[in-house]
Structure 1
Amino acid sequence: GDTTRPKVSGDQLVLSFSDTSNLDADQAHKPASGAFTVLVNGVANAVTNVSVEAQAKTVTLTLSTAVTHGQTVTVAYADPTTGNDTNAIQDTAGNDAASFAATAVTNNTPAP
């Protein structure tokens, strides 16, 4: 399948950025939780933490409410400005990842 497609299990939603160089793992540069919009069955699910794994080129979002098996999940990301920002998903050269509209997330949460 498409390994770059976002996926979620429980309260952990993982975004992959395989098309960029290594991500900037500086915690001071990580994007704000509010830059992400996660909808579960159409209802907003607030992001409580953002974690960047530079080598893996992933950004992991911790959701305020765990997703359950079979729910429909989407994620969107808004780059703060059109320029390159300190607090954004960015590569080690400081290039911001582009904003993306609501994108389907593969729900890997196991059935209870």
Structure 2
Amino acid sequence: MVYLLLKYLQLHWIYTIVIGYFGVAIALYMLTDIHILVPCLWKAISGYECPGCGMTTAFIALLQMQWGDAWSANPMIFGLVPVFIFLILRDFWRFIHRQTGPM
């Protein structure tokens, strides 16, 4: 199973880079208060918040199990996290079946 996971991550190297970057950035923020996350470009250019503003803050609050803070930062997180988990698991499931054949 680990072999298939590593092969999946190698094939989907962009996922690996993006998830790795955000994983390291969020871990640094939570453990040492070092901010290396990319700021919202929409807000930097226009000065107005986009619908996704606060999503990282909401995700960090979810990791810390602070449900109210996550809702305050951006309530969309409660719909997007399950959808992304489902899509990644479905893609991985399809990858496994392509590699191993039907069981």
TM-score by length of 1: 0.22
Greater C-alpha Rg: 2
Larger relative contact order (Cα-Cα within 8 Å, sequence gap ≥ 6): 1
- Structure with greater proportional helix content: 2
TM-score by length of 2: 0.23
